[in-house]
Amino acid sequence: MEDASFIIGSWVLTFVAIGAYAAFVIRRGRELSRNATSEEMPWT
């Protein structure tokens, strides 16, 4: 149990980093989609 704080802290840091990256990717994608033309979006 001596290393529990290190292990839990590592997990928290990992989830925070992944969450921040996911938020960045989603925000950037929404920003880019506003400027895209219909020819650049064949899925719509």
Against a cut of 0.75, is the pTM above it? Answer: no
Domain ranges across the chain: 1-40
Among candidate residues 16, 41, 39, the one with its CA nearest the CA of residue 29? 41
The per-residue DSSP string of the chain comes to -TTHHHHHHHHHHHHHHHHHHHHHHHHHHHHHHHT--GGG-TT-
Position 44 pLDDT exceeds 90: no
- Residue 17 tokens, joined: 């980093």
Position 38 pLDDT exceeds 90: no
**Residue 40: predicted pLDDT:** 82
| Contact assessment for residue 38 and residue 44, using Cβ atoms and an 8 Å cutoff | yes
What's the average model confidence in pLDDT over 19-35? 95
